Amino acid sequence: MKRVLLSTATICAIISTTSLADVSIKSKAAILKFSGKHYIGFVHDNSEKKDANSYFETRRNYLQVKAYFKENSKDHLRITLDTKTSSTGEVNVRLKYAYLYLADILPYTSVKFGQAHRPWIDYNTKTGWLYRSIAKSFTEEKLGANLTSSTDKGINFNTKIGNFSSEVGIFNGEGYSSKDTDGKNGLSYEWRFTSHIYKAKAAYADISFMGAYNTKTLKNDEDLLWYGINALYSQPKFLIAGTFVKTDDAGVDNNKKTGSGWSINGSVKILPKTSLLARFDNFKSDNKQTRQEYIAGVGYKYTKNIQFIANVFHADPDKDTKNDAKNRYMLTAEVKW
């Protein structure tokens, strides 16, 4: 994502040449970086038991600021605001990220402290599943494994040594969009270990082992252990990635959280700016529920800041439940600045 880089002195100089000359900006940061990301879409929902529904949406809107305390330094404070429409139609502003980043504070290791990335999702959506604007990754998608979220309050240690990288963190465990229990439900210990078995200028292949041990989860006061493996290969013409996960919600029988599942996704560039994409998710729990979803579409890179995606999303009904099959036809504009 291209970011706007302005020093505080430059900001003040810009303002002084406008009609807002009496307004001043003061900051203890040497440099401020502003950026944004927006998912704008049109959706047509169609299911077996409900009437079809069509609507426009501003699916997500991220506004981000990074404050660097010294020039030519990677250390910074990041804050990211996120909008999401509630079930009642209200557009709510939520805090997505708010953390202090200290680069190489330990040997080969950087630290994020605050409301920060959890170890797996951020890495996965930067390397393996590149279309988060139309669907979350398999491990967090509600109709996928539905095991974790992208962000939580805690601390994350990111290590890079040669062809190995890792993230190890301790978090509250409920996720940034769930009820904050202030530690009453224990902590979550999470990890990602990645072997970068091949890396070239425009191609890479790696294998990751990831998971979490979440003590006393919010819904049932029991420990939840999940772990998995992911393998991917990417080059300019195509990408393919696969994930397998297994979960154990300790002490709870016939539980929808205990089970195993897998996902595979890929994309193929058919023209310089056009790619075909597809994904299949499958998760089966101990209470005999089987969740399956299919995604297929085409992406068009209009400019380096704008991408259009047209896709079909199909979810099979859960076996032995009242959920019906769903089809969703989507058109998305993904905008970065």
| Separation between Cα atoms, residue 336 and residue 316, nearest integer Å | 33
Report pLDDT digits (tens) over 107-133. 999 999 999 999 999 999 999 999 999
Res 157 pLDDT > 80:
yes
On the CB side of 99, CA atoms within 13 Å amount to: 23
Most confident of 82-86, 309-313, 314-318: 309-313
Report pLDDT digits (tens) over 29-39. 899 999 999 99
Closest CA to 28 of 13, 10, 7, 14: 7
Percent of the chain with pLDDT over 90: 66
Average of per-residue pLDDT across 228-237: 97
C-alpha torsion sign, points 181, 182, 187, 190: positive
Q: Which of 12-21, 210-219, 241-250, 257-266 has the lowest mean pLDDT?
A: 12-21
For the CA atoms of the chain, what is the radius of gyration? 21
Q: What pLDDT was estimated at residue 64?
A: 97
Q: What pLDDT was estimated at residue 278?
A: 98
Q: Which of 47-56, 98-107, 302-311 has the lowest mean pLDDT?
A: 47-56
CA angle 284, 279, 141 (to 5 degrees): 55
CB 293 within 8 A of CB 327: no
**CATH number of the domain where residue 203 is located:** 2.40.160.10
Q: What pLDDT was estimated at residue 131?
A: 97
* Three-state SS at 26: coil
Q: What pLDDT was estimated at residue 93?
A: 92
> What average pLDDT does the chain have?
87
CB 295 within 8 A of CB 134: yes
CB 291 within 8 A of CB 262: no
Domain that holds residue 90: 4-336
**DSSP for 124-182?**
HHHHT---TTT---TTT-TTTT----SEEEEEEEEEEETTEEEEEEEE-SS-TTS---T
Higher pLDDT, 223 or 125: 125
> How many domains is the chain partitioned into structurally?
1
Res 304 pLDDT > 90:
yes
Q: What pLDDT was estimated at residue 150?
A: 93
- Catalogue the long-range contacts made by 238-241 (C-beta closer than 8 Å, 24 or more residues apart): 238/266, 238/267, 238/268, 238/269, 239/128, 239/130, 239/266, 239/267, 240/264, 240/265, 240/266, 241/127, 241/128, 241/129, 241/265, 241/266
| Separation between Cα atoms, residue 173 and residue 306, nearest integer Å | 34
Higher pLDDT, 207 or 3: 207
In the numeric block, which tokens belong to residue 306? 């704008």
Q: What pLDDT was estimated at residue 255?
A: 65
Query: CB neighbours of 82 closer than 8 A, spacing ≥ 6?
Result: 60, 61, 62, 93, 94, 95, 96
